[in-house]
Structure 1
Amino acid sequence: MTNSSSDLFLSLSAIWILVCASLALSIMAVVMVLRSRRGRRRSFATERPAAHSGAEAAHTLLRETEKNGQSADAALVNWTPDTLRRILADELPDAQVIVVSNREPYIHNLKDGEIELIVPASGLVSALEPITRACGGTWIAYGGGSADRLTVDANDRVQVPPDNPSYVLRRVWLNQKEHDGYYLGFANEGLWPLCHIVFTRPVFRASDWETYEAVNRKFADIVVREARNQRPIVLVQDYHFALLPRMIRARLPEAIIITFWHIPWPNSEVFSICPWREKILDGLLGSSIIGFHTQFHCNNFTQSVDRFLESRIEREDAAISYGGQASLVHAYPISIEWPPALLESLPPVADCRRAVRRKYGLADDVRLCVGVERLDYTKGILDRFHALEDLFERHPEWIGKLTFLQIAAPSRGTLPAYRRLHEECVRCVEDLNRRFGHDGYKPVLMVAEHHSQRRVYEIYRAADLCMVTSLHDGMNLVAKEFVAARDDEQGVLLLSTFAGASKELLEALIVNPYDAAMMADALQQALTMPADEQQSRMRRMREIVRDNNVYRWAGSMLLDAARLRKRSDTERVTTDNGLPGGGNVVAMFRHNRVAAR
């Protein structure tokens, strides 16, 4: 072999040895990574909180997120009332929780000379009432019951729930002019149609706006009066109080103010219709945290602020810096308590079915479809009637075999749009019953009256299917209540794609309420769905509602509030010690994340 050939051979051999060594090292590295991942998975499986350790898991989670500045993954916690109590006790010691809403959780009315207690069938009430019970806070609301004044003490307070008092209801009195201008006028003829894109023109009157401002100021006065110290946690609820956060902030600058907007937020082009758009945005940005049901609504809000106010949008941190203050803008999908307390006292599903069928005169072989909501033009009630008409025309075999029961609680009946809706619904029901009904059979039963929550759950349990066909909705808790009521794992949910709940309850039959033929096809699918498929879908939806319950909704906000409080305390200590503070909570959050990397 020549020298050149020998050199070439040696070079090739060296290269081959290097390749083999590199390959061996790569294999070893992959093995080590896989072992590490398996170890982490084993560790996670071991450390994942069990059903009885939700509170401890929440505290661990908060401490971990404090280290790296990232948002807490609330999905890792089993959320219960005890979880909330422990968060408040350990992470927010001595914090007073104040809830502010227009609607009160308990109403006292006079009936035949006696005082009658009513628990309104309201999504907001059903979500917040268990939270306030768990936290032992104060709930401030408009007292509109005819006997409300007769049941309060000298300070306009009453202990509730009546059977087991655990928190204080502080009632606020409004005269007729205030109620008409603030509630019926600006809130429900202005903001409600503005935020729900259902082609109902908003009505804006300067007199309504002035009353809205005055009523928000009245509630702010009472919040300050009820606060036991300068640092309460105030949960402001919904579109009735867009100005309230700024008013509270001016007088309680150290309060944690969490505003939750329960309805959709429109895009900036639609929002620009409002004559007082800048004032509404300024009012809401008095909040420490602004919550919406979906990220889509958060984005719309941020876009509106960006368009109409001089502000700095911190998109990476989901926050807005305005007027020297940072407000976090987060999505917190609302839910219901789990398990619903009512289920313990309700009879079995079979008994509920017999009772409901007997009440409404339904034969045993007739399928029952239900809709439950306020009589409101955003709920798509007429649209489901049109879908039923399409079903009967294309599948006449269901005539006489299907009844639709619409529970439509009267709402805002003095407003023209609501009166017209009621009249149109009545005409549509009469037409359907005339065309498709016969002796002893009505395809549609419309009950325009209020029902107790217990009665509503009985109807859910008796139904074969439930229609939720909102034309536009923030979340819609009827969908989640129906799922929670079905511990027999039967029944089918038809759910509008324009309801926030459709982003979670993917096993429902998702429909476009503007498409009657599509909804009729979904009805046909639901009516012919096998029991095992119903069970599979319902089981998964029940898991979602169980894990994403109302305690998680509130707990996620309280965890974020605790982080804000800790950051504020740290900044105060830093400033007191003569070190630069800066006053920018968002910047501090970002600094922690960068440091963690």
Structure 2
Amino acid sequence: MTQYGVLLLVLIFASLGLSAFAIFISISRYRRNHPRASALPGSGEDVATEAARKVLREFEKNGQSVDAALVTWSPDTLRKILADELPDAQVIVVSNREPYIHNETKDGGVELVVPASGLVSALEPITRACAGTWIAYGGGSADQTVVDRNDRVQVPPGHPSYTLRRVWLSDEEYQGYYLGFANEGLWPLCHIAFTRPIFRESDWEAYEAVNRKFADTVVAEARNERPIVLVQDYHFALLPRMIRERLPEAIVITFWHIPWPNSEVFSICPWRERILDGLLGSSIVGFHTQYHANNFTESVDRFMESRIERADAAISYGGQVTLVHSYPISIEWPVELLKALPNIEECRVRVRKRFRIPAGAKLCVGVERLDYTKGILDRFHALEELFIRHPEMVGKVVFLQVAAPSRGTLPAYKQLHEECLRCAEELNQRYGSDSYQPVVMVAEHHSQAAVYELYRAADICLVTSLHDGMNLVAKEFVASRDDEQGVLLLSTFAGASRELLEALIVNPYDAAMMSEAMLQALTMGPDEQRERMRRMREIVRDNNVYRWAGSMLLDAARLRKRGDLDRVTALYERPNAPTGDNVVSMFERKQAVGFR
């Protein structure tokens, strides 16, 4: 190797040092918080990790505490990661749901709607911080009237910080891709809620075509060949491979927001190999829990010709390596929305007056989409079990269930809606009176502000999913309680139960157990509530959404630097490389490692 080669590699290793240290700190915190995780980000003995260890030893020699260098995760942290670790990187987010919807009003005006979505609430502050581009399906009745000639609109309104790029779908495309394959096929397949998946060839064809349409849009929006593309959820299993084919130098991070089933359940899908091939086009595939990441890896091992690197949490397939990691999603902290809301006592007064809650009754709330995976009927059964076992509680508790209508044209959702209304009515007839209704069922959409007002007014919040990825309602409830009061009942089958251990963890299939947990919550004293809530708030604060995104971006930076180093190495290891004036130029070497 020439002296220029030695110098260049020294520069590369030096540039890796600080980056690697930040990654190592992130890994160290992850290990402390997840001691049982079997596959950890950055666990391989690569250049970045070794460099990080050297920098860490230098800190210790100088008497500096490692804790002093731990990251406080905020929008500024993300901006610094992008500026220092991924300079000039364009961040592109892809999701089915858009963060802002424009609808026509009856008087011909335009109404702005912010959907109450866990995905949107998690990703919107990230995209703002990164000044990125968000690509999504434009389904609002006025969406096309407010975009420019390139189908873009600057958001948020009034204080624009990123671009929303809308994609238009025909009714046939939406029916087949979204309602059909995504929500009658993949959704029940991945959620073990005992609803049979439905797979149709026509739905698959629409799903593939829509994924291709979104791939075209990503390529059109990319300013260069090296964007960071954050692909969101089960609507786009084929998209990573399609992007990889056209932007081979892009970092594609796919996050699967719902559970991944075991390989036996996944084998039901007729297009299982195509879905796995599509996802393995990603640089990184992320899940909420290590359990779901392991299930994905097992599915790949069973159905694809691949090499599983379990120590490094990586899969080698088709000449490419894909990292498979768990990144527990969260919410922003502090929650900006709380600044505009009244104090706890006023929220309680307003909510109780609106829903006619008797003065002496404790208020339990459930907030989610009307979906068979959320365990709404099971809560009703648990409430009845509470009244049977403890009849003295009749009149002392009201359960307010907010269930936003969702996918109402699908038979399974229509049936669920009817069953919920019937069950609520039966409970009210059996245990209610003229002045007391034990169940208040509200099947309508609520704004995020209205939802947080409900959280702040509640004595108990029930999150009893039959199967879930994370479920951000649990974390939103905790974040809303700056009074450090209130009790969270949380399903063991929701990813949030791995973090919020101070909640009352329940099995939603066991009505008797749920009823006893409800009684414990209803009779819990303020000191115990405060102790539990304080610890949960610390967890949500420390493991906020900026940490979720930052962890993925740091892993992306590590991959990019490793790829750049591999390209440099390849340049110097060319067989029969010429010498003299024909040798690889220093400019070419600088370009290979991204030096400016």
Give the TM-score, by structure 2 length.
0.86
User: Aligned residue for 1:111?
Assistant: 105
The one of 401, 422, 426 equivalent to 2:421 is 426
Structure 2 contact 24–52 (Cα < 8 Å) conserved? no
User: Aligned residue for 1:154?
Assistant: 149
- Provide the secondary structure at the position in 2 that maps to 1:302: helix
User: Aligned residue for 1:78?
Assistant: 72
The one of 435, 440, 443 equivalent to 2:435 is 440
User: Aligned residue for 1:123?
Assistant: 118
User: Aligned residue for 2:191?
Assistant: 196
Give distance in 2, aligned partners of 1:57 and 1:361: 58
Give distance in 1, aligned partners of 2:118 and 2:79: 23
- Provide the secondary structure at the position in 2 that maps to 1:281: helix
CA positional deviation for 1:69:
7.1
Structure 2 contact 398–440 (Cα < 8 Å) conserved? yes
Alignment of 1:235-250 (within 5 A): 235-250=230-245
Give distance in 2, aligned partners of 1:108 and 1:58: 41
Structure 1 contact 58–77 (Cα < 8 Å) conserved? no
The one of 161, 170, 184 equivalent to 1:175 is 170
Give distance in 1, aligned partners of 2:414 and 2:197: 16
CA positional deviation for 1:305:
0.2
| Deviations, residues 421-471 of structure 1 (Å, cap 9, x unaligned) | 000001000000000000121100010000000000000000000000000
Verify: 1:68 aligned to 2:50, yes or no: yes
User: Kindly tell me: are residues 369 and 571 of structure 1, through their superposed partners in 2, closer, same or farther at Cα, counting changes over 3 Å?
Assistant: same
User: Aligned residue for 1:387?
Assistant: 382
Structure 2 contact 366–461 (Cα < 8 Å) conserved? yes
CA positional deviation for 1:384:
0.3
User: Aligned residue for 1:583?
Assistant: none
User: Aligned residue for 1:321?
Assistant: 316
Structure 2 contact 492–505 (Cα < 8 Å) conserved? yes
Aligned residues: 525
User: Aligned residue for 1:164?
Assistant: 159
Give distance in 2, aligned partners of 1:107 and 1:364: 38
- Provide the secondary structure at the position in 2 that maps to 1:474: coil
Structure 1 contact 58–83 (Cα < 8 Å) conserved? no
Give distance in 2, aligned partners of 1:67 and 1:387: 50
Give distance in 1, aligned partners of 2:100 and 2:185: 27
User: Aligned residue for 1:14?
Assistant: none
| Deviations, residues 153-174 of structure 1 (Å, cap 9, x unaligned) | 0100000000210000000000
CA positional deviation for 1:263:
0.2
Give distance in 2, aligned partners of 1:510 and 1:326: 37
Structure 2 contact 254–279 (Cα < 8 Å) conserved? yes
Verify: 1:526 aligned to 2:521, yes or no: yes
Give distance in 2, aligned partners of 1:361 and 1:62: 52
CA positional deviation for 1:76:
3.5
User: Aligned residue for 1:269?
Assistant: 264
Q: Which amino acid aligns with 1:81?
A: P
Q: Which amino acid aligns with 2:78?
A: L
Structure (1 or 2) with the larger CA radius of gyration:
1
User: Aligned residue for 1:132?
Assistant: 127
CA positional deviation for 1:573:
1.1
Long gaps (5+) in structure 2: 1-16, 26-41, 43-47, 57-65, 576-596
Q: Which amino acid aligns with 1:164?
A: H
User: Kindly tell me: are residues 314 and 535 of structure 1, through their superposed partners in 2, closer, same or farther at Cα, counting changes over 3 Å?
Assistant: same
CA positional deviation for 1:70:
7.9
- Provide the secondary structure at the position in 1 that maps to 2:148: coil
Give distance in 2, aligned partners of 1:526 and 1:280: 43
- Provide the secondary structure at the position in 2 that maps to 1:470: coil
- Provide the secondary structure at the position in 2 that maps to 1:505: coil
Give distance in 1, aligned partners of 2:224 and 2:78: 21
Structure 2 contact 273–304 (Cα < 8 Å) conserved? yes
Structure 2 contact 19–85 (Cα < 8 Å) conserved? no
What is the root-mean-square deviation in Å for CA atoms of aligned residues?
Answer: 1.7
CA positional deviation for 1:317:
0.3
CA positional deviation for 1:253:
0.1
CA positional deviation for 1:62:
3.2
CA positional deviation for 1:364:
2.0
The one of 98, 112, 116 equivalent to 2:92 is 98
User: Aligned residue for 2:338?
Assistant: 343
CA positional deviation for 1:114:
1.7
CA positional deviation for 1:59:
7.6
User: Aligned residue for 1:20?
Assistant: none
User: Aligned residue for 2:512?
Assistant: 517
| Deviations, residues 340-384 of structure 1 (Å, cap 9, x unaligned) | 110111110000000101111112211100000000000000000
User: Aligned residue for 2:202?
Assistant: 207
Give distance in 2, aligned partners of 1:357 and 1:58: 52
- Moved >3 Å (runs of 4+): 56-60, 62-65, 69-76
Give the TM-score, by structure 1 length.
0.86
The one of 504, 513, 537 equivalent to 2:532 is 537
User: Aligned residue for 1:287?
Assistant: 282
User: Aligned residue for 1:563?
Assistant: 558
CA positional deviation for 1:63:
7.4
- Provide the secondary structure at the position in 2 that maps to 1:344: helix
Q: Which amino acid aligns with 2:50?
A: N
User: Kindly tell me: are residues 69 and 251 of structure 1, through their superposed partners in 2, closer, same or farther at Cα, counting changes over 3 Å?
Assistant: farther
Q: Which moved more, 1:565-574 or 1:472-481?
A: 565-574
Structure 2 contact 20–52 (Cα < 8 Å) conserved? no
Structure 1 contact 127–336 (Cα < 8 Å) conserved? yes
User: Aligned residue for 1:309?
Assistant: 304
Alignment of 1:219-230 (within 5 A): 219-230=214-225
- Provide the secondary structure at the position in 2 that maps to 1:524: helix
Q: Which moved more, 1:65-74 or 1:407-416?
A: 65-74
User: Aligned residue for 1:5?
Assistant: none
Structure 2 contact 20–49 (Cα < 8 Å) conserved? no
- Provide the secondary structure at the position in 2 that maps to 1:298: helix
CA positional deviation for 1:578:
2.6
Structure 1 contact 59–87 (Cα < 8 Å) conserved? no
CA positional deviation for 1:60:
4.3
CA positional deviation for 1:199:
0.5
